[in-house]
Structure formats: C-alpha cells, structure tokens
Structure 1
Amino acid sequence: MIRFKSALKSLSISLFLVAILCCTSFAKEFSYADIVDELTNLQKLALLPADGQKCALWSSYNQVSKYDPNTNTYIEWYRNGDGSGIIRMEGENQVIAEMNGPGCINRIWSATAGQGHLKIYLDGVQTPAVDLPFIKYCDGSTTPFNRKSLVYVAAKGYNNYTPIPYQKSCKIIAEPNWGKYYQITYQTFPKDTIVPTFNMNLSAEDSAALDKADAILSNCKAFIPSANESKEISKLITVEPGKQAEIFNLKGPASIIRLEIKPQLPADKKQQEDLLRQLTIQMNWDNQKNPAVWSPLGDFFGTAPGVNEYSSFPLGMSNDLFYSNWFMPFSKAGKGIIGNDSNTTFKADVRIVYAPIDANADYGRFHAKWHRDAFLPDAKIWPLDWTILKTKGRGKFCGFALNLWNPAGKWWGEGDERFFVDGEKFPSTFGTGTEDYFGYAWCCPKLFYASYHNQTANTNGNNTDHISLNRWQIADNVPFQKSFDAYIEKYFSNSRKTFYSAVSYWYLDAKGQDEYKPVAVNERLGYYARPAENVIAGVAISGEPSGGKIELGGLNRHDGYNWRDLDHLAWKDAKLGDKLHLELSADKDGKYILIGKFTKQDGYATVQLYLDNKKIGEPMDFQNDKLISTPELSLGKYDLKAGKHILTVEIIKLGPPVKPTKYRDAMFGIDYVKLKPM
C-alpha cells in the first residue's frame, strides 16, 4: 500500500529545510552550526562537490614510501613502521599537520594518545586555539570534546569527530610524549568560502548544534529521516528460487530516504549466512541499463556473513530489521529489485520512504557495489594493493564495508589505505594500518559499534576466520572531480586462503563510469573454506618431520625482501640428518619447473633438497647475517606424472649457534614451493 506521511515519529531531521541553502550550489558562508550539520545531513552528502572541495589526510605513515616522478616508480611502497612520520621538527616539537584554509578538521584518531600536548594553531594566531594533552582530545573529559557519540575510545582506538574549522590556515604541533600513530582527516572548501575559526568556548547556539548531532548519533537505530510530503510503500515480497521481486518502482524527481527489510530467515546460522549471499539487492536510477547498486543482500547493509547485529548512522542490521538511511535521489525513475539465487523461497516485509526533491539540485546518484578482487593493479608494480574502488566522473566517496576470511590466523591488518583523487600520482590519503582506518587499534578483536565505524564480527575473538568492518565517511567524505582510485594493502595472499570482499559506497554524476558488474553466486559462496590441516603458510606437509617441529612463523615486510604473506613455514629444533617432507601436486603428466622461495637468517642451516628421493643440485646454505627472503629460485626442470610428489628437506649442516630472538628460533624457513608447468 502507499500512503502519505506528513511526519515520521522518532528522532528525525527535516531534509528539506536545508534544501534552500544547499540544493543548487555550494554555500558561500558557513556558521559553526552549519558545519556541525554535516555530521548528520545525508541529503547534503548527496550533492556533487563544488570545484575546490577536497578531503585529505595527515598521518604518521612511514615517509620512506615515495613516488619518483623522474622514473615514474614507487619507492619503498610497502614499508611498515607507520608511527613516526611527521612533516618536520621545530625544536623538540613535531609538526604533524599543516594546511591552508578555508577548511575543517573532521576526524582525529590515534592508537596511543599520551600526556604530551597537541597544539592546534588557527589562522596565523600565535596562541593555540586548542592546547591539551593528546589524551584529552579523546577521553571525553574536556568541553567541547565531551559528546559521547563524537569522542570516544573504540577497541583501543582514540577517536574525535568534533569539527574544528579554520578560515586561513591550520598548524598542529605535537610536544614530546604526545603518543604514537595519528591520523588527521580534514576538508578544504572552495577559496571564497567563509567559515568561523574554532574556539573552545562555544556559543550556546554552537553547543546546541553539537548536542543535537550527539543526540541523533547516540541513538542511530531510532533515527528515521523525514521530509515534507514524504510517502511510504509497505509490502510483503515473496521471491521464488531463481526469480526476482520488485521492491519499488518510482517516478522522479524524488529520493529514497529510508529502506527497511524485515527478512524471514532460517534459524540455522550456516543456512542464514549462505542465503544472505545468495539473495541480491539491485537499484537502477533514471532508466540506466546497468545498476548503480548491486550487492548480496546482507553485505549491502554493512556486514557479513549472515546477521551481525549493529546500529550505525546510515546502515544497521538486527535479526528482525535491516535498515538504510542513505539518501538515494533520482530525476526520472528509480527501481529496486531483490533477486534470489538460492533454492528456497524468500519472504520479507519491505518498507520504502521516499520524498520529492528539487529537480534542479546538483545531486549525484547513489552507488554501492560488492566485489572480490575486481580491478586489481598490476602485481609487478603494486603486488599488495587491493582495490577498494575505481571510478571516473564527479562524486564523493563515502566509505566501505570490508569482510575478510582469515582461517590461518596471524594479524592480517598492517595494510595502509591509499586514496588517489583526480589522477594524482601520490595519494592525498595515505594511512597507517587497516584497523586505523576503521577507527580502532593494536589488532584488537573486540567488537565495537559507533555511528561511523564498526567491527561487527570477529568470529573467534582472535582475528581468525570471519572479520567484518565498516566505516562511513559522512562529514569526512572524499570529493573528486574526475576520478577516484582507492586501495588498501592486503599482506596475506589468496594462496594463503585469506580473502577480501567489500561493498563501496559513493555518489557519482549521471555520466560517471561505474564498471562493476554483478557477481555470479558461485563466486559469492564457498570461497571461505578452511585450509587442509597439513598446510602451513600455504605449504603442504607430508607426515611429521623426523625431528624438531614445524609451525607458522610471522615476519615483517620491512625486515628484508618480500615474503608472500608476511609469514613462512618455520622448522625448529631439528638435528643434523633430520628430514622434512613436503607435498607437491602435478595436475597432469608433463614437464614442470620446480620453484621455491626461502628464508635466510643468522643461525639457519645448510640443507639438501630431494624430489621423489632424487637429489636436487648442490646443498643450499641459508645462513645470513640478517633476516631476508631469497628471490624466487628455479630448482630444476622435471618430467612428472600427474599426482602427488614429495620434496624432502634434509639438514646436513647446522648453522652457527645464536641467541634466539623472535625470528632466530628456527633453522629453516620456506615461503613457498610450487610446480610450474612448462
């Protein structure tokens, strides 16, 4: 049924009062209350960016990583150790951010906020506008940084989303003992924009604006956008196997302002997880052939697999309600469909709230796409970068939801995010670690829930199996005029059975390029399988070694060359003459090259290799003064029958005795070994 709604109960904002100010062009002057409004104004978020509107990041990333324009190469691109990057020293203090206005700091994050002062100087004034111990920015004890939905600690990550605007300039000085690891996200407005300079002593009006935002964000689940002349569609849908059901088909100009789905799901958790990947949601705007929104149904709502209960500002999920508050405008027509690639009938109650919009407003079209490993960069140039989003046109990036499968364990999230805007060669956003982007710290597996970022799943509470994260960039969205390319380092490869999938959310002009296609159901399911018990670091073991023990050994990429997954198979406590047997598989009869990559380290042994009990070349000495990986080595060419073959490693000489350390407690390490067909 369709019925008119004059207002919706619960916490709400009027989407159309702001339309007078923002629907046709970028405002020339902002009050502090206007800037605070961006924390919760999803309608304004949908407006395409004005020329000169930007978002960038200052962070403590390792500045050894550079782009060389003379050779068009990226140098030390995967160096870790992201806690000490600064702009420069001034006496004993560190300059950690410096930018021209007009602009606004939208987010401050740290993994270790200490007692040393962070001083924020604005508009050339010699006295800092803010002068506090770094910890006081984030512990909620100091006004105005005391709104609980804007200032808090989430799984050891210190966060402050209080807007700090400036007209001419901003400079941030960190005094000794300030802590370690930081990110400062800021936006720059067009040159002629007028904004107030932040003052810790806010007016009553400005304090009320922060209180209003805090009230909305403190109860996200209860927040329901409303608008004058809004209408509502409520229906029960039934989707047969292999079929689709229409959830809305509307004429514009209008916008979806609320989407609710109350699904009927199986009680069995595995069946539920599979079903929410077999069901899909699709939305098309203005009769465009390709969908702007396509995702497995569960993933679209910001978490996977299955139902992981959480509540955030634009999206949330519980067993009985999936909701979206994204503003989804269209000028001519909007159509939404749920598809069913399962073998069971799916039923759900669907509720759509929509409202008319100004046909002349410069809105982008809402896009959300799920993918696995789509549009990966050239592995010879960027072997570890995993693509979050590649798009062309004019728009705003609004965040992404990441689901990963990490059955082999170990910390997976050292990877930095890097956002390239409008073809820039060096990213204007260069992060310090995956968990840092998502607002937490120190590999913490604890679930947390906030308005703009969440860890909704960590299956075993130890960063193994399924981990699900999201971050919504609302006030800190990333505008682009021509293109946007976002990557995050993925240290563990697919060969280790560590897999990523993501839904990216963005606004794009009607002529922009979104090349993401729907993904077949067999690619959405089944890939998160557990490796065989005899596989360590991607290497298959045949039985137990004759002496010593084998285990997964963690490594750091900056310690030497590059191990495939920042780990290796480590053989410990073996004696002279002990043997280790590894399994290799030939797919068919034929000629193969045996290829291996190994670890060298002080105290490592000399070994003799055998393939199917036949000696391979001369002994290999893996003693080295420091920890490194070898290059990929060719170990010979062989005629092999299809099936299993055994590579034997025999210790024939022990390395010199050394004091055991984190990496010096083994005597042989192997990154990978494989048979390559000729």
Structure 2
Amino acid sequence: MKMPPPPSLSGLSVRAIGLVISCLAAAHLGGALLEDLALPQRGRSRRETSTHRGGPDGKYDRRAEPRGDADERSNHDNQNVAPGGTRVLMDVQGPGAITHIWLTFLGPEPQAWAKNGSANHQEMLLRIYWDGRQKPGVEAPVGDFFANCFGRRSEVISLPVAVEDGDSYNCFWRMPFRKSARVEIINESDKPISLLYFNIDWLKLDSLPKDTPYFHAQYRQEYPTTKGQDYVVLDTKGKGHYVGTVLAVRTRSPSWFGEGDERIYLDGEAKPSIWGTGTEDYFLSAWGLKKTSTPYFGVPYFDQWGIVGGHTSAYRWHIPDPIVFSKGIKVAFEHFGWIAPDENPQYQSTSWNEREDDYASVAFWYQTGEPTFEARAPHARERRLPSLERLTVYARDFASREFHGDGSAVAQRLSFFDTPQLLYRPPAKENAWWEIPFKVEKQEPLRLLLNLATSYDFGQYQAWLDGVKIGGVMDLYSAETAAKEFHLLDFWPETGAHKLRLECVGRNPQSTGHYLGIESVRLRERRPRVAEYGHDKDKDWKTKPRLYR
C-alpha cells in the first residue's frame, strides 16, 4: 500500500472553525475573561514541570535546578514511567490554585522511541489529592479526564479541556487548595508510559475565602449497565455545583442506545426535579449523536451508528449553567433506547427498551467539605472493555495462493489494528477474490462481521457465506487509510465448517485500485435475551439473510 495522501483542506477547516468558535465563546464569557485581565491579580505564579533537572551525577534529580546549558541533556525534558510505577507531577504547599495542566506522551503504537509500544491513556490513572486527604479529589483515567475515552486519541476543542490533534492534553479547570496539592499519574499498563512531558501552572496565594469549594472529578463504570437501575454518574452529599459530564458507551445491541433521559436529584429529593428528554439532548445535540467539538459540548469519538459493538463518547460542560445544590446531588441516566426485534419479547422494534450496554463516565463538580460518593476507579485491567467476540479468525493466516485469486497477498501492520492485516493486491476486478474457512462449535445467536481497512486504492467487494450472498456491496474506498467494521448477518449458524468468500465487483470512481485489506472475520455475541426469546432460532438464514439495525 502506498503512503496515504495528506489531510484534506476541509478537515483542516473544520478544526479551524472549532478554534474560532471556542474563541468566540471565550469572549462571550466574558466580558468576564478579558475584563478580568485588566484587574489586579492576587498571588504569585508558579509552575511544576518535567523540564530536565540534572543532579551531581548527571541524572535527573527532581530537587535540582533546571538545566539550561549547551549540553543536549538540557533538552531531555521527559521521563518514562515503568509498568506499575507512579510519577508525581506536583507536590506543593498551599494556599494556592491550579490554573492549567498540560501533558503529552507517546501513543500506544510501536515506534522508534518505543519499539514494543507504550501504555495508552486509559491505562494511566490520574489522581489529585487535596490537603493531605486519604481519598483523591480527582480520580480518572488520563484519557477520560480529558474527554478521550476507550483508550483512543481524539481531538477536543472546548473551553475547559483542549486536546489538540489528539496528543496535547490541556485542562483549564481552576482547582483551589488550602494546605497542599499532590498530582500523580499511575501506570497500570504492562507497558511503559513513554516520553511523559508536563507543565502544571498554579498560583501561590496568601489565603482562600472560607467557603471556597474544591474541584472534584470521579470515574465510574458498569460493564454492562444494571437491569432495573439508572446508571449513576454522581451521588454525593454536601454543598456545591455540578460542572460537567464525560460519558462513554459501547453498545451490545443493534440500533440507537440514547433514548434514556438524564435525571438529576437535588438536596435529597425523592423524585428528580431536573428531568431531560434523551441522552443526545443532554449533550446538546439532536436526533442522535455525531462527531463534533464545541466549547460546551461535543462528541470526540463516534465510529458507527446502530452496530453491535459501536463506540460513542461525549462531553457536556455546565460552565454558564452549573447545577447548584445545597445538601447533595445525584446525577443519573436511564439506559433505554431502540432495540432489534429479536431482543423484544413481542418481536417488535420499539423506541423504549431497557438496554444492556457498557457505560463509563467522569463526573466533574465543586463542593465544600469531603464528597460522600463511594465510586472508585477500578484497575486498568477492569477498565478495558470485555471482548464480545465468540470467534475471531485472523486473515493474515490465509495469505497462500489457495485462498485468493489473481494477485498477491501479504501481511501488513497498520497502527489502528492490534494485529497485522492481510493486504490482497489483485491487478483488476476479474478473478479477484479471497476466501477464509471457519468452524462453529455451538449453535447460538451471533453476528457475522468483517474488520476491514479502507483506503484510496481499495475496491468494492461482495460477501458470500456458504454460497449465499449476504449484505450489500462493500465500498472500501476512502481518501485516507482507516479501519471500519462491516456488519453482514445476524443468524444462528449451524455447528461445523463454514466458508466466507469476498469477490471484487468493481471500484469506486475515485479509487486507484481493487485492493482488499482485512484484519479478521468475527462472530460477535448477541445479548442473552436473544437466545432466551429464540425468535429466529428455527429460521433458515440462507433463504432470508437478515441484519438488524
């Protein structure tokens, strides 16, 4: 495969527009922001940084003065954090207030500086302790804290959080403290955090008003959500104001997950006095969610609508509209939505069904006193989403001539696949095909899908299973090389041997070739209630292939 073309102008324009909108929103806030700059400022500015500090032996010494001479070691401003290690970024005495945090580090893919790869940001746990307390005031995976969920890097352009190009992590939440502040990152991966850089800007103050609330952020997850109970983002007693939500959802059923309302209980009330109209409405969108980034709300990551195993992450900042509470607050979401007929007891597709998807969240709030919220972030091993695959057959093992038509087939490693893909390179559509056998051990409801690459020189392919045409023509053209799942069939496959065949039927007019890139063929589990109801168990999938959406 040739190198992909450079980013399009339209993509750059979208980023530029996002930046302009953020700037306009900042100006709207203030009057406030800009006028405050013309007022006297309290305190003295300080910074905690990863800049190189050389000890007497030439090695890094956190207590030494920054090095700034002509020696190249003056530019060694990063550190690695070994698996299981903790890196303290800040440990200072108050009173004071953190005003800005900036981080960067290598991504998880193998590269010259980390040949075996590095920890991803979901495996790094950020903790901030106020005033020597035992429980952290902030506890969240680094990625989720910066509205980057699923361990994936995404750009965020908002007022309190900005992740430019998906790899420079900034937050501007103001975080006051009286006695002390300790900021640390724990590496819960089996790989190192590579080339960690950081700057934390803060103000040293003489005092804080007596009623100053502290900043808090707490991660929570349910894989999957609990039947008969709303998903709880925050539940704490005390006085304060709620300022933001990050929510990540991995679907386990087809169709739209987000009909559930936000329900917010204030000051111990039995019924919520703040009740929404749908999940996408809470995140200030409408008629579903799509990838976007604005000053107060956004969807940094969205892969595909309505599939089994789809990923959506969203953020909502209550900056002009904080939710104020005097005695306590509970923030929760119903997990209701559309569902496929085979998951409905009446075999109907309706908009109001309790779903069993995977939810993870970070709540952001200020309050006086110590929170009573009991949620804690589990270890990175438990934060990793559980596999939904009943069977995965890797295409790289089927590169020999007996499995494909004219042309060559080679294994190729791409950054977005965990394992090498098979790149099949036919010279034309004639006699261009690829086959893969697989075996089913147990008859149960499953979804057949392909994990494919798309690119500027890829063709259009039609899938056949055991001689039966399934799904429509798959157009694998895209201007930039990317990964995409193609979902083909919901069925109860018979036990025994099966064969999937992909035949080239042409190419997109914009494509320069007929290539095929495939990482794997997968049989993905359906929810237990599909087997319980058994609506399609005795139907012949070969006479009427079906894919629920």
TM-score range, shorter chain: 0.5 to 0.7
Q: CA deviation at 1:514?
A: 2.8
Q: Given that residues 540 and 582 in structure 1 are in contact (C-alpha distance below 8 angstroms), is that contact kept between their aligned partners in structure 2?
A: no
**2:180 is aligned with 1:333:** yes
Q: CA deviation at 1:428?
A: 1.5
**2:44 is aligned with 1:229:** yes
Letter in 1 for 2:279: T
* 1:161-560 equivalences in 2 (<5 Å): 212=31, 228-235=43-50, 236-267=78-109, 275-304=120-149, 305-318=151-164, 319-346=166-193, 347-357=195-205, 358-373=207-222, 379=227, 382-383=228-229, 385-406=230-251, 408-445=253-290, 447-460=291-304, 465-491=310-336, 498-527=357-386, 529-530=388-389, 539-540=445-446
CA distance in 1, matches of 2:146, 2:126: 10
Letter in 2 for 1:411: W
Q: 1:214 to 1:356 in 2, by over 3 A?
A: closer
Q: CA deviation at 1:420?
A: 0.6
Q: CA deviation at 1:404?
A: 1.5
Say which SS state the counterpart of residue 470 (structure 1) adopts: strand
Q: 1:596 to 1:437 in 2, by over 3 A?
A: same
Q: CA deviation at 1:376?
A: 7.4
Q: Given that residues 229 and 356 in structure 1 are in contact (C-alpha distance below 8 angstroms), is that contact kept between their aligned partners in structure 2?
A: yes
Deviations 1:176-206 (A, max 9, x none): xxxxxxxxxxxxxxxxxxxxxxxxxxxxxxx
Say which SS state the counterpart of residue 523 (structure 1) adopts: helix
CA distance in 1, matches of 2:371, 2:532: 45
Q: CA deviation at 1:524?
A: 1.1
Q: 1:531 to 1:417 in 2, by over 3 A?
A: farther
Q: 1:375 to 1:456 in 2, by over 3 A?
A: closer
Q: Given that residues 223 and 359 in structure 2 are in contact (C-alpha distance below 8 angstroms), is that contact kept between their aligned partners in structure 1?
A: no
Letter in 2 for 1:456: P
Q: CA deviation at 1:458?
A: 0.8
Deviations 1:498-556 (A, max 9, x none): 31111111112223313122311211114254565999xx94489x999x9999xxxxx
Say which SS state the counterpart of residue 359 (structure 2) adopts: strand
CA distance in 2, matches of 1:230, 1:360: 19
Q: CA deviation at 1:354?
A: 0.7
Say which SS state the counterpart of residue 335 (structure 1) adopts: strand
CA distance in 1, matches of 2:313, 2:333: 15
Q: 1:484 to 1:550 in 2, by over 3 A?
A: farther
CA distance in 1, matches of 2:21, 2:447: 51
CA distance in 1, matches of 2:531, 2:123: 39
Q: 1:415 to 1:496 in 2, by over 3 A?
A: closer
CA distance in 2, matches of 1:455, 1:215: 28
Q: Which runs of 5+ in 2 are unaligned?
A: 1-19, 36-40, 51-77, 344-353, 393-439, 449-463, 472-488, 496-529
Letter in 1 for 2:200: I
Deviations 1:37-85 (A, max 9, x none): xxxxxxxxxxxxxxxxxxxxxxxxxxxxxxxxxxxxxxxxxxxxxxxxx
Q: CA deviation at 1:421?
A: 0.7
Q: Given that residues 453 and 469 in structure 1 are in contact (C-alpha distance below 8 angstroms), is that contact kept between their aligned partners in structure 2?
A: yes
CA distance in 1, matches of 2:330, 2:300: 26
Q: 1:275 to 1:480 in 2, by over 3 A?
A: same
Letter in 1 for 2:159: F
Q: How many residues align?
A: 357
CA distance in 2, matches of 1:427, 1:272: 46
CA distance in 2, matches of 1:570, 1:374: 23
Q: CA deviation at 1:361?
A: 3.7
Q: CA deviation at 1:434?
A: 0.6
Letter in 2 for 1:469: A
CA distance in 1, matches of 2:216, 2:538: 53
Q: TM-score, normalised by structure 1?
A: 0.46
Deviations 1:585-622 (A, max 9, x none): xxxxxxxxx994477xxxxxxx9xxxxxxxxxxxxxxx
Q: CA deviation at 1:351?
A: 0.4
Say which SS state the counterpart of residue 285 (structure 2) adopts: coil
CA distance in 2, matches of 1:375, 1:532: 20
Q: CA deviation at 1:368?
A: 0.9
CA distance in 2, matches of 1:366, 1:211: 22
Q: TM-score, normalised by structure 2?
A: 0.56
Q: Which runs of 5+ in 1 are unaligned?
A: 1-146, 152-160, 163-207, 217-225, 552-568, 572-579, 584-593, 600-606, 608-647, 652-665, 671-678
Structure 1 vs Structure 2: percent identity of aligned residues?
A: 25
Say which SS state the counterpart of residue 120 (structure 2) adopts: helix
Q: CA deviation at 1:336?
A: 0.7
Q: CA deviation at 1:454?
A: 0.7
Letter in 2 for 1:329: P
Q: Given that residues 90 and 184 in structure 2 are in contact (C-alpha distance below 8 angstroms), is that contact kept between their aligned partners in structure 1?
A: yes
Q: CA deviation at 1:268?
A: 5.5
CA distance in 1, matches of 2:117, 2:360: 18
Q: 1:301 to 1:229 in 2, by over 3 A?
A: same
Q: 1:296 to 1:441 in 2, by over 3 A?
A: same
Letter in 2 for 1:443: G
Deviations 1:309-363 (A, max 9, x none): 1111111213441011111111111101111112232231110111134333412
Q: 1:215 to 1:427 in 2, by over 3 A?
A: same
Say which SS state the counterpart of residue 371 (structure 2) adopts: coil
Q: 1:234 to 1:263 in 2, by over 3 A?
A: same
CA distance in 2, matches of 1:429, 1:272: 45
Say which SS state the counterpart of residue 442 (structure 1) adopts: coil
Q: Given that residues 237 and 247 in structure 1 are in contact (C-alpha distance below 8 angstroms), is that contact kept between their aligned partners in structure 2?
A: no
CA distance in 2, matches of 1:389, 1:457: 23
Q: CA deviation at 1:406?
A: 2.3
Deviations 1:108-149 (A, max 9, x none): xxxxxxxxxxxxxxxxxxxxxxxxxxxxxxxxxxxxxxx966
* 1:517-666 equivalences in 2 (<5 Å): 517-527=376-386, 529-530=388-389, 539-540=445-446, 596-597=532-533, 649=538
CA distance in 2, matches of 1:486, 1:401: 12
CA distance in 1, matches of 2:34, 2:156: 18
| Larger Rg belongs to | 1
